[in-house]
């Protein structure tokens, strides 16, 4: 229905654009895009938001914040000048003018040009760390400077604070080296260390200023568009053409290119930091981490110099269609200049895909299955592309062949993805029935159900979550909880994103008369909200874990509720469903056992203490710029937080073996084996995974007693 609605208003949008703006001017593309996006939001967004003075004020605040969130550029007089537009942006949207946008950018550019010279002057001389100054770090509590003198002082405090933080770090490192009598560390005077700290901060700001200087009109316009879309909700966004490409890569876990991770450090050079195993670069073999890319050519065409080019633009030149050639002029680590020819291909980012392992308990060698799913991925651009639901099914079957006595499904830090795939995946663990309700603005709730009576796995099931488990992850956890099919283990609640977005490609729906203005990019619009089958929403509240384990965010609010303009929690009528008839875990008894285990676990006690420190740090917004006082404050926190290093020193908690698929390439298998080994090593010391193993074991023990 949403797609039909989107198609329905295309004709209307085109009429509006062509009738209102028949005479093109230099801002015509921006005007076309603005009108298209506003009509798309009006017709398709879940909430019908009125475009009025209140809307205007929210857009105004958001754009000012996006330009100067920490109040380091604008003066109070600048803000007073811009406030004349605070309640006029709705009118400008209606008539296609951009007075606020232009004026805000002009003032910001003027201030940025002036301020960008401050940091070198300030960092040219040592700071006095004996004064009893303080700095406020919370933007909401900071006031705009009344003049350039006050602004210069603001920057002085900022740079002193950052230098102080780095200085204390390297001073403490040297003190530890002296204490351990480490002769490999060259001992420096305080003045030398202070000089080193200032140079480090100057380098950081060189990179920051350089990146800011490379922002163009399209970047600023994208920021402005997203100041408008964010008023609707945090997940409605406009994507420029390049950022849309990045979104597709993120969702599908693959791209067409050479398979090299690049970075720009602010010195104008683009460096290779990593080669993706199995990628065209890896197979070709000449491009290495540490190489500097100087020029990029499309086959035999004239090469383009990428020195001082923005990283995203250089990446755009290097990426390309499968089967095409790119020639890179590269400066090697030894200083030699070479030309490397690479044939582009599909690059698979394996870290985004589902994988599994078998955990063997130390007491009786029982096998427990483990599946890790980093996101609910799907290839929107190819019907034959990889789907997470099919991949998870394969991993389940691998584990069944291993005769596991339970499965742990890890969706920690999984931000969601494909709605269709999570519905299909949930069906693997029940016979059939509703999984989630989806509600749109003008229609009755749609019930998405598993209609396949077959069950892929019917044994004990634990689902691991945390505060970053969102959207599709919450649908899966909620459905399994409502069916009493699984034990949900992890943070107090999940992220709390209970909405569904639709990606809408603008270029595909613009008439040919606008071809000269393409590409326009895409817009992601929140078109629906989803609800549990019990009628409650996961929006804001998330999914509460059955078994709550302490984590470092236990005492602070994180997730959807921390974002601006998030939609409210609501509920609708529940639907009829039959609770799982198979083995049902005794949640109350398991909770009793786990509470006792956690209470007596010294590592969870460390995490709990660290969580309290994080809470204190989050609430603390004023810091001393006095070296002695600052060190005393940091030492107090470090005594507890440093103890978390003991987590890495603990013995392996269990034996675990990855279930991997080998390729025909022996070298690639060897590389993948190294990556897998690192993954397995981290899992062996994962105390949250260990508790999930214990829960699986207790489900079995409690079932035997019945």
In a domain, 298, yes or no: yes
* Distance, CA of 418 to CA of 203 (rounded, Å): 41
Where is average pLDDT lowest: 343-352, 427-436, 554-563?
343-352
Of 529, 547, 426, 417, which Cα lies nearest the Cα of 480? 426
In a domain, 441, yes or no: yes
For range 574-585, the mean pLDDT: 92
Asked if residue 662 has pLDDT above 90, the reply is: no
In a domain, 516, yes or no: no
In a domain, 358, yes or no: yes
pLDDT tens profile 77-120 = 999 999 999 999 999 998 888 999 999 999 999 999 999 989 99
Q: Are residues 270 and 209 in the same domain?
A: no
244 near 228, Cβ under 8 Å?
A: no
Number of domains in the chain: 3
Q: Are residues 344 and 365 in the same domain?
A: no
The DSSP letter of residue 376 is: B
**Tokens 């958001």 belong to residue:** 62
pLDDT tens profile 393-426 = 999 999 999 999 999 999 999 999 999 999 999 9
- Answer positive or negative: Cα dihedral of 59, 61, 65, 68: positive
Q: Are residues 403 and 424 in the same domain?
A: yes
Specify the CATH number for the domain of residue 291.
2.30.42.10
Asked if residue 705 has pLDDT above 90, the reply is: no
Specify the CATH number for the domain of residue 412.
3.90.226.10
In a domain, 164, yes or no: yes
Count of CA atoms in the C-beta half-sphere (13 A) of 552: 9
In a domain, 220, yes or no: no
* Distance, CA of 481 to CA of 488 (rounded, Å): 7
Cβ atoms within 10 Å of 478's Cβ, excluding its own: 27
**Tokens 């720009």 belong to residue:** 264
| Beta strand extents in 486-571 (DSSP E only) | 487-490, 499-505, 522-531, 547-548
Q: What token pair was written down for 562? A: 């921390």
In a domain, 98, yes or no: no
For range 672-698, the mean pLDDT: 91
Q: Which domain holds residue 171?
A: 118-213
pTM of this prediction?
A: 0.85
* Distance, CA of 621 to CA of 481 (rounded, Å): 39
Where is average pLDDT lowest: 351-365, 424-438, 442-456?
351-365
- Answer positive or negative: Cα dihedral of 566, 59, 244, 214: negative
pLDDT tens profile 210-228 = 888 888 888 899 999 999 9
Q: What token pair was written down for 59? A: 């857009």
What pLDDT is recorded for position 646? 67
What pLDDT is recorded for position 250? 66
Of all residues in the chain, the percent with pLDDT exceeding 70 is 92
312 near 333, Cβ under 8 Å?
A: no
For range 30-41, the mean pLDDT: 92
* Average pLDDT across the chain, whole number: 88
Asked which of 348, 383, 405 is the last residue of a domain, the reply is: 348
Burial class (CB in 10 A: 0-12, 13-18, 19+), 192: exposed
Cβ atoms within 10 Å of 510's Cβ, excluding its own: 21
Q: What token pair was written down for 115? A: 């301020």
Q: Are residues 367 and 384 in the same domain?
A: yes
* Distance, CA of 291 to CA of 318 (rounded, Å): 15
* DSSP code string of 609-631: HHHHHHHHHHH--EEE--HHHHH
Asked which of 348, 365, 390 is the last residue of a domain, the reply is: 348
Q: What token pair was written down for 145? A: 């400077």
The β-bridge partners of 501 are 526
Asked which of 289, 316, 348 is the last residue of a domain, the reply is: 348
In a domain, 568, yes or no: yes
What pLDDT is recorded for position 583? 83
* Distance, CA of 516 to CA of 377 (rounded, Å): 34
261 compared with 293, residue with greater pLDDT: 293
Cβ atoms within 10 Å of 384's Cβ, excluding its own: 6
Q: Are residues 162 and 179 in the same domain?
A: yes
pLDDT tens profile 590-635 = 999 999 999 999 889 888 888 888 888 888 899 999 999 999 988 8
Q: Are residues 441 and 298 in the same domain?
A: no
pLDDT tens profile 445-475 = 999 999 999 999 999 999 999 999 999 999 9
What pLDDT is recorded for position 13? 45
pLDDT tens profile 278-330 = 789 988 889 988 899 999 999 999 999 988 888 888 888 999 899 999 999 99
Q: Are residues 405 and 552 in the same domain?
A: yes
Q: Are residues 472 and 493 in the same domain?
A: yes
Q: Are residues 467 and 539 in the same domain?
A: yes
Q: Are residues 603 and 690 in the same domain?
A: yes
Phi and psi angles of residue 539, each rounded to the nearest 5 degrees, phi first:
-60, 130
Q: Are residues 340 and 356 in the same domain?
A: no
Q: Are residues 480 and 608 in the same domain?
A: yes
**Tokens 């393409």 belong to residue:** 518
Asked if residue 22 has pLDDT above 80, the reply is: no
* Distance, CA of 418 to CA of 378 (rounded, Å): 6
What pLDDT is recorded for position 5? 45
Asked if residue 390 has pLDDT above 50, the reply is: yes
């Amino acid at each position: 229905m949403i797609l039909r609605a989107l198609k329905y208003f295309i004709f209307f949008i085109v009429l509006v654009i062509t009738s209102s703006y028949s005479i093109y001017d230099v801002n015509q593309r921006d005007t076309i895009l603005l009108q298209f996006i506003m009509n798309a939001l009006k017709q398709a967004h879940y909430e019908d938001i009125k475009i009025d003075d209140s809307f205007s004020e929210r857009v105004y605040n958001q754009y000012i914040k996006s330009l100067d969130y920490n109040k380091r550029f604008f003066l109070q007089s600048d803000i007073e000048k811009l406030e004349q537009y605070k309640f006029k942006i709705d009118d400008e949207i209606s008539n296609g003018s951009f007075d606020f946008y232009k004026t805000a950018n002009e003032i910001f550019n003027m201030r940025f040009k002036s301020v960008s010279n401050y940091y070198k002057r300030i960092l040219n001389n040592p700071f006095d760390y004996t004064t009893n100054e303080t700095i406020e770090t919370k933007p909401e509590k900071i006031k705009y400077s009344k003049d350039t003198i006050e602004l210069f002082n603001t920057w002085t405090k900022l740079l002193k604070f950052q230098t102080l933080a780095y200085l204390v770090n390297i001073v403490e490192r040297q003190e530890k080296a002296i204490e351990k009598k480490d002769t490999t560390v060259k001992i420096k005077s305080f003045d030398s260390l202070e000089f080193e700290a200032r140079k480090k901060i100057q380098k950081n700001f060189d990179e920051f200023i350089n990146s800011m200087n490379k922002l163009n009109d399209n970047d600023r316009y994208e920021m402005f568009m997203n100041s408008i879309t964010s008023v609707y909700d945090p997940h409605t966004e406009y994507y420029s053409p390049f950022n849309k490409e990045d979104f597709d890569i993120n969702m599908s876990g693959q791209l067409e290119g050479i398979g090299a991770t690049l970075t720009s450090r602010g010195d104008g050079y683009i460096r290779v930091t990593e080669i993706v195993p199995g990628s065209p670069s890896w197979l070709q073999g000449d491009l290495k981490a540490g190489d500097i890319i100087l020029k990029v050519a499309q086959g035999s065409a004239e090469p383009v110099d990428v020195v001082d080019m923005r990283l995203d633009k250089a990446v755009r030149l290097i990426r390309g269609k499968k089967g095409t050639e790119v020639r890179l002029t590269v400066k090697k680590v030894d200083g030699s200049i070479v030309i490397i020819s690479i044939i582009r291909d599909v690059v698979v980012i394996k870290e985004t895909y589902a994988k599994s392992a078998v955990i063997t308990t130390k007491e009786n060698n029982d096998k427990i299955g483990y599946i890790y799913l980093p996101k609910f991925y799907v290839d929107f651009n190819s019907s034959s592309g990889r789907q997470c639901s099919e991949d998870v099914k394969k991993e389940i079957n691998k584990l069944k062949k291993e005769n596991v006595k339970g499965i742990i499904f890890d969706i920690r830090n999984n931000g969601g993805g494909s709605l269709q795939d999570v519905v299909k995946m949930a069906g693997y663990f029940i016979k059939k029935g509703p999984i989630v309700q989806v509600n749109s603005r003008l229609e009755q709730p749609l019930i998405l159900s598993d209609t396949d009576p077959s069950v892929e796995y019917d044994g004990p099931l634990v689902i691991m979550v945390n505060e970053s488990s969102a959207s599709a992850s919450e649908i899966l956890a909620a459905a399994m909880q409502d069916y009493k099919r699984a034990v949900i283990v992890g943070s107090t609640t999940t992220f709390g994103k209970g909405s569904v977005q639709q990606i809408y490609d603008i270029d595909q729906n613009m008439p040919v008369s606008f071809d000269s203005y393409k590409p326009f990019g895409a817009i992601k619009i929140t078109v629906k909200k989803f609800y549990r089958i019990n009628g409650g929403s996961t929006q804001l509240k998330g999914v509460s874990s059955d078994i709550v384990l302490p984590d470092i965010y236990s005492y602070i609010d994180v997730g959807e509720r921390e974002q601006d303009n998030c939609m409210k929690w609501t509920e609708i009528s529940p639907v009829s469903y039959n609770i799982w008839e198979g083995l049902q875990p005794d949640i109350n008894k398991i909770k009793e056992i786990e509470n006792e285990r956690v209470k007596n676990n010294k590592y969870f006690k460390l995490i709990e203490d660290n969580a309290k420190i994080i809470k204190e740090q989050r609430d603390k917004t004023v810091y001393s710029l006095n070296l002695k006082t600052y060190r005393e404050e940091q030492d107090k926190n470090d005594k507890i937080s440093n103890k978390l290093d003991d987590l890495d020193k603990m013995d392996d908690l269990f034996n675990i073996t990855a279930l991997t698929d080998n390729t025909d390439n022996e070298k690639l298998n060897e590389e993948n084996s190294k990556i897998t080994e690192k993954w397995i090593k981290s899992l062996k010391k994962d105390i949250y995974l260990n508790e999930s193993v214990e829960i699986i074991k207790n489900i079995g023990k409690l079932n035997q007693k019945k």
